[in-house]
């Protein structure tokens, strides 16, 4: 019944057991995609994307998880349950749904966001089922308790997943915010009573498991931002994640408190603002201005809310920083506030934007200068609280790099959780009954979105792209006759070198060495290949010594 190929499990029908597999989301922040199985059926929790970046995946913007296993087992798939509306949890639904064709369950705000995204992709949202906050519902052999938590977006939900063989708490992304400002409070009562029923395992957010204390409240942040804005003159631009509606509401409040007018700059801010209005959030704030209407106001009355907190090159803030924005510009003594954290991998892009601003004598304020951001993920004290409420037998840390997963397990152990299982993406785990056991691997990995096509990422091609980006390329063409004599001077072209002087020296060196190389090889067989190898290692040696670089070397020999 269960099929295995190339050491990969291709099809599997869960028996009288609970199966769990992170297809994406472990060892990384992003691309959340989890699979639960019991009594012949599967349920997916979240289906997110991750963003490419110039260092890791040059030229690729959106990365999707691999749905191959679920596709092959879709006759037993009951649906996708969404925990919340962040891109790394819902971003792949529209792109992968055509291959999966199953119902999607989400609370009202995530439904509204999904509906807009599906419309852009021209997919009819008939399969989208809206579920109530703090509701309970059945999906085949699964009984699911939706539990409201708090995070950095409205309506984050933990899922209590109950089966005949035990219950698992899937925390989703969460924190304990006593005053989240927008959306419901953390439903501690429901969480605690879920814990009291006896919980087999917790699948637990690890993002801030290395950070002591408590993540802090949006309310305290609002007070701090108001103080900062009040003492700042000239124009202010502020950037944060578009989906953080509490932060957006805060920006509207501080505009009002400080006598400024707020405008939204960037498409994703408008998408989120409209989804918020559709679902009854942000009703009590003054409507935001369009970016085309704001620059006529005196400098001291301007608050620009911009996309681009992660240095995304096409976002509003990057374009403003490089003077390429159609409607907005900033000048010396204006201020830009990054009300956000640096997501690992985006350091270079963010620094680039900040440098461009500083060059123009624009003040840049980040969370290392002032209290301008609170995280949406639990710090150590909040994790402890959760483990004490839930008292699971097993902790399975997700949503984090390896060191974060490890710290999360250590915290759980200190709270009396007996087992910690650090998984890898694609492992299929039998959680119960009996001892937890890895049954094997299923397809995982990354796919890229190339226009409208979804194609596997060619890891080798990416490696080459990265190499070319940082080490340059040397292309050498040799014209030789049949008796292996050079007919003309080698043609050398290069890319990615800042100083042509070195290329000239290299050219000179190669010219004086090439004839001895050919002579040395004499009339050996495969002289073309041998000569290419020789030139390649000569070139690598030269550039290592001269510039400490290892360029990509391509050699063409044309025989006449």
Binding segment (CB under 5 A) for Zn ion, from list 172-180, 284-292, 459-467, 470-478: 172-180
Shortest distance, CB of residue 174 to Zn ion, whole angstroms?
9
SS3 434: coil
Minimum CB distance to Zn ion smaller for 94 or for 378? 378
Euclidean distance between CA atoms 237 and 308, whole angstroms: 11
Minimum CB distance to Zn ion smaller for 46 or for 312? 46
Minimum CB distance to Zn ion smaller for 83 or for 407? 83
Minimum CB distance to Zn ion smaller for 85 or for 394? 85
Alpha helices, DSSP H, located in 280-346: 291-294, 316-321
Shortest distance, CB of residue 86 to Zn ion, whole angstroms?
4
Minimum CB distance to Zn ion smaller for 175 or for 235? 175
The contact mask relative to Zn ion for 120-159 (x = CB under 5 A, - = no) is: ----------------------------------------
Minimum CB distance to Zn ion smaller for 48 or for 79? 48
Residues 6+ apart with CB under 8 A from 267: 307
Shortest distance, CB of residue 205 to Zn ion, whole angstroms?
9
Minimum CB distance to Zn ion smaller for 118 or for 153? 153
Residues 6+ apart with CB under 8 A from 241: 152, 247, 309, 340
Shortest distance, CB of residue 105 to Zn ion, whole angstroms?
17
- Which 266-305 residues touch Zn ion, going by CB under 5 A? none
Binding segment (CB under 5 A) for Zn ion, from list 167-175, 181-189, 337-345, 535-543: 167-175
DSSP string, 62-83: EEEE--HHHHHTGGGEEEEE--
Binding segment (CB under 5 A) for Zn ion, from list 170-178, 233-241, 308-316, 337-345: 170-178
- Which 198-217 residues touch Zn ion, going by CB under 5 A? none
- The candidate with the shortest Cα–Cα distance to 88, out of 131, 122, 49, is 49
Please name the helix (run of DSSP H) or strand (run of DSSP E) that holds residue 269, with its range, or none: helix 267-278
SS3 268: helix
Which of 17, 173, 249, 334 is the binder for Zn ion (CB under 5 A)? 173
Shortest distance, CB of residue 34 to Zn ion, whole angstroms?
14
Helices (H) and strands (E) in the chain, counts: 16, 30
Minimum CB distance to Zn ion smaller for 23 or for 90? 90
Euclidean distance between CA atoms 16 and 19, whole angstroms: 10
CB atoms within 10 A of CB 483: 6
Minimum CB distance to Zn ion smaller for 86 or for 319? 86
DSSP class of residue 227 equals H
Shortest distance, CB of residue 329 to Zn ion, whole angstroms?
33
Shortest distance, CB of residue 26 to Zn ion, whole angstroms?
16
SS3 253: helix
Shortest distance, CB of residue 156 to Zn ion, whole angstroms?
7
Shortest distance, CB of residue 88 to Zn ion, whole angstroms?
7
Minimum CB distance to Zn ion smaller for 163 or for 209? 209
Shortest distance, CB of residue 510 to Zn ion, whole angstroms?
54
Residues 6+ apart with CB under 8 A from 355: none
3-state helix, strand and coil shares in percent for the chain, rounded to the nearest 5: 35, 25, 40
Q: Does 377 bind Zn ion (CB under 5 A)?
A: no
Secondary structure of 512-550 in HEC code, one letter for each residue:
HHHHHHHHHHCCCCCHHHHHHHHHHHHHHHHHHHHHCCC
The contact mask relative to Zn ion for 64-103 (x = CB under 5 A, - = no) is: ----------------------x-----------------
Nearest 5°: the CA angle 413, 417, 422 is: 70
Asked if the peptide bond before residue 534 counts as cis, ω within 30 degrees of 0, the response is: no
Minimum CB distance to Zn ion smaller for 319 or for 377? 377
Binding segment (CB under 5 A) for Zn ion, from list 122-130, 134-142, 173-181, 528-536: 173-181
Query: Residues interacting with Zn ion, by CB under 5 A?
Result: 86, 173
């Amino acid at each position: 019944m269960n099929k295995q190929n190339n050491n990969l499990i291709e099809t599997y029908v869960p028996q009288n057991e609970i199966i769990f597999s992170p297809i994406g989301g472990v060892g990384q922040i992003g691309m959340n995609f989890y699979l639960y199985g019991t009594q012949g059926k599967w349920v997916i929790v979240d289906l997110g994307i991750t963003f490419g970046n110039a260092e890791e995946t040059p030229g690729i913007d959106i990365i999707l998880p691999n749905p191959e296993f679920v596709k092959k087992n879709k006759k037993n798939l009951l649906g996708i349950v969404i925990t919340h509306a962040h891109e790394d949890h819902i971003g792949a639904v529209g792109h992968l749904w055509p291959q999966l064709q199953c119902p999607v369950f989400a609370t009202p705000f995530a439904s509204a966001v999904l509906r807009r995204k599906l419309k852009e992709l021209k997919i009819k949202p008939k399969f989208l089922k809206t579920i109530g906050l703090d509701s309970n519902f059945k999906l085949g052999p699964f009984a699911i308790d939706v539990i409201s938590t708090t995070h950095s977006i409205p309506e984050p939900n933990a899922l209590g997943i109950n089966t005949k063989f035990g219950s698992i708490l899937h925390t989703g992304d969460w924190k304990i915010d006593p005053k989240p400002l927008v959306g419901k409070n953390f439903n501690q009562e429901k969480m605690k009573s879920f814990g009291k029923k006896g919980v087999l395992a917790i699948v637990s957010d690890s993002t801030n498991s290395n950070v002591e204390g408590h993540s802090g409240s949006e309310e305290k942040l609002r007070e701090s931002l108001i103080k900062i804005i009040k003492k700042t003159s000239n124009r202010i631009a502020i950037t944060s994640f578009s989906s953080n509606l509490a932060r957006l509401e805060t920006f509207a409040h501080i505009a009002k408190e400080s006598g400024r007018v707020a405008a939204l700059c960037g498409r994703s801010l408008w998408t989120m603002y409209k989804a918020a209005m559709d679902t009854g959030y942000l009703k009590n704030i003054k409507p935001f201005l369009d970016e085309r209407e704001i620059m006529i106001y005196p400098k001291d009355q301007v608050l620009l809310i911009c996309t681009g907190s992660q240095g995304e090159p096409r976002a509003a803030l990057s374009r403003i920083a490089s003077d390429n924005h159609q409607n907005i510009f900033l000048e010396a003594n204006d201020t830009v506030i990054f009300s956000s954290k640096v997501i690992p991998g985006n350091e270079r892009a963010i620094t680039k934007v900040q440098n461009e601003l500083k060059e123009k004598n624009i003040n840049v304020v980040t969370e290392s200068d002032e209290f301008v951001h609170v995280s949406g993920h639990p710090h150590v004290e909040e994790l402890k609280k959760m483990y004490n409420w839930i008292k699971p037998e097993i902790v399975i840390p997700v949503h984090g790099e390896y060191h974060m997963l490890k710290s999360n397990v250590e915290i759980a152990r200190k709270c009396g959780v007996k087992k910690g299982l650090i998984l890898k993406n694609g492992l299929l785990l039998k959680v119960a009954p009996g001892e937890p056991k890895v049954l094997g691997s299923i397809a995982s990995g990354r796919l890229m979105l190339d226009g409208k096509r979804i194609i596997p990422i060619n890891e080798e091609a990416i490696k080459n792209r990265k190499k070319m980006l940082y080490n340059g390329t040397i292309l050498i063409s040799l014209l030789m006759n049949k008796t292996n004599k050079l007919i003309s001077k080698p043609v050398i072209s290069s890319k990615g070198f800042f100083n042509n002087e070195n290329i000239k020296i290299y050219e000179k060196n190669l010219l004086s060495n090439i004839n001895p190389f050919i002579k040395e090889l004499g009339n050996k067989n495969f002289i073309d290949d041998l000569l290419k190898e020789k030139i390649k290692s000569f070139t690598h040696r030269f550039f290592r010594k001269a510039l400490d670089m290892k360029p990509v070397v391509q050699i063409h020999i044309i025989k006449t």
